[in-house]
A and B are shown apart, each in its own frame.
Chain A
Amino acid sequence: MTNFIQHLVDALSVGSTYSLLALGLTLVFGVMGLVNFAYGMLIVWSGYAIGLLAGWHVNVVLAVVAVIGVATFLSLVMGEVAFRPFRKAPPLTLLLTSFGVSLILQASVRIIFGEGFRRVPTPSVLGNGLHAGGVRISVLQLVSVGTGTLVVLGLYLLLQRTTLGLQMRAYAEDADVAGMMGVRTERILTAAFAISGVIAGIVAMIWLAKIGTVQPSGDLNPTIKAFIAIVIGGLGSIRGAVLGGLILGVFESFLVAYLPSVLLPYGEALAFLLVIAVLVLRPQGVAGRVVELSR
């Protein structure tokens, strides 16, 4: 039983991080139909930013703000320069474009910082743990679940309770009609990339604190996790991203714990089997918002 609770705690911690990753990705998909493969590069760039800031001995609070700033800025540049010209292109062209963008961002990391790992310093407090009845919860796990909850709540309020949120939802469903009604449509894309960038900056700090290092190709893993989560939950759905991330977290944690050791190396492959099963059997995802996938 203690073991089970421990696995549940781990699953929740990992899952909340996946949910955050998926939120940033699904928001942009919902607004413009883009599955942004370059999203993970925001996390890699944030990692190098953390390294630089730590080297300059910047105060932690200031550093957190600065990292979020870097990710938001990059996300905005990416959206305005690379993706805005494609806003009416089919989803597949958008996906291919995002491959190009991720190559550009990755190559610039290589040119500026070189190949190889770099350590990402984290405040030592995060490593401390609490023990309760044989279950260990680290500060980092608490922070990641707490941050995840706050971000989800904040995003929900933004979308449901503000005029910008209303306009974003209207634009996501019918961009032309939103324009006819007077919505400044060109600002909606900007807003979506800005919010996606803020979320990427936040999740980057948690993700990198868990891993401890960053390298130019470090985008693949978080991008894949986010992809899996949004497909399981349903593309373009906020609720789906949260659910999909949590499901993936539970799936992975319990797989490691209860799978016969022969099957252990197939962890990622099994996660993708789950994804393919969802796509074929329930293309609208677990959360059930129907999104037209075929165009």
Chain B
Amino acid sequence: MITLGWVRDRGLSRGGTSGVVIATALLAVVGALGASLYLVLAGSSSYDLIIIFGVNAVLVVGLQVLVGNTGIMSFGQMAFVSVGAYTAGILSVPAAQKKGILPHLPAFLRDHTLPVVPTLVIAGLAAAIVAVIIGPVFMRLTGIAAGITSFGFLVIMNGLIRNAKDYTRGNETFFGVPHSATLPVVFGALTAVVALAAIIKWSRLGLRARAVRDDPLAAETAGISMLFSRLWPWVASGFISGVGGALFAYQLTAFSPNSFYLAQTIPIVVMVVLGGANSVAGALVGTTLLTAWQEFVRNLENGNVGPLHFGAVRGIAQLSIGIGLVLLLLARPSGAIGSREPQLSLRARSKKVH
């Protein structure tokens, strides 16, 4: 008999790992199928929205892997996203156009173009390498200090990108990226990323990290290194966010350093908190809720609600998200589904053996 239930991330039992992984990945697939069905019913005008949801979901899972496993909130995820996006851009602009767009690129980069899947992996790895480099500094801090440092990381990365003109075109718009953010690419990546997050969460590394999160002193006494246990979720978070950055580049096709700053950070943070920062499934729930809400108020701002039309008012979306965030933190700081995860379990009918 197959049952679908919930497990919490408290307690150190590792039982049912595969069940959680399968269930969480299934959730992403069901989401994708549901989205496709919706597309068929609603027509292609909603296609972009589904893609935006998928890309957002990857970015949110990227942050959740960090927050859920370490308790550290990062306001610098867009730094990883920008590394992933520019890496993907450099690798995937068609070679013929690249000479015009990035004339000073080293020859081996200029003359070659990679297909989607290797590009996504390399973009993720590039961001992961950045994470490995700065991790030993960042992972010493927690709470407010970590929050400020992560934001500093974003500012520094933004400065680097603005000035690495040969690779990024600096402040000018980077364009010519093929529109490869198709349904199979985005949701294939999302499913893989969700599975990765679930595997990390229920692995020995994840359990160690969460032991440090819940009681750093006791964990250190038990011989768990605080720095290393936090470093792995941080690097995984960098990798996933880098992949998300590549998808983001495929979706936008043209972007600049301004596309990866505080205005893009806040929705990602809100989505993580909204769904439940301690749950991978919560990341997907939070993304769904906020993406839907953003779409609704965006129409409202443009003056359309279903058949109704009225004058456009700028700022309503932002206002509603601000009020929503404050109320959410007041009423349910642990998010929509808290720290629960869906779990599939295969249970044999109990037979009495004599």
Contacts and interface: CB of A to CB of B under 8 A. Distances in A.
Contacts of A162: none
Most chain A CB within a 10 A radius of its CB, from B152, B163, B314, B330: B152
Interface string A48-83: 000000000000000000000000000000000010
Contacts of A231: 145, 148
A104 B142 contact: no
Given A96-B273, A115-B314, A269-B159, A101 B145 contact: no
Interface of A: 35, 82, 85-86, 89-93, 95-97, 99-111, 114-115, 220, 224, 227, 231, 235, 265-266, 268-269, 272-273, 275-276, 279-280, 283, 293-295
A279 B145 contact: yes
Chain A: interface secondary structure? Answer: helix
Nearest to A294: B142
B144 A275 contact: no
B159 A100 contact: no
A269 B155 contact: yes
Interface residues of B, number: 41
Given A265-B163, A275-B152, A279-B149, A110 B318 contact: yes
Given A100-B323, A235-B144, A273-B156, 19 more contacts: A85-B330, A91-B144, A93-B329, A99-B266, A100-B322, A103-B325, A104-B319, A106-B322, A107-B315, A107-B317, A107-B322, A110-B315, A266-B163, A269-B156, A272-B155, A275-B149, A279-B149, A293-B143, A294-B142
A266 B314 contact: no
B340 interface: no
Contact of B269 (A99, A109, A265): A99
Interface in B217-248: none
A231 B143 CA distance: 13
Find the residue from B143, B262, B323 having the highest chain A CB count within 10 A: B143
B309 interface: no
Contacts of A91: 143-144
A256 B163 CA distance: 17
A106 B162 contact: no
B147 A269 contact: no
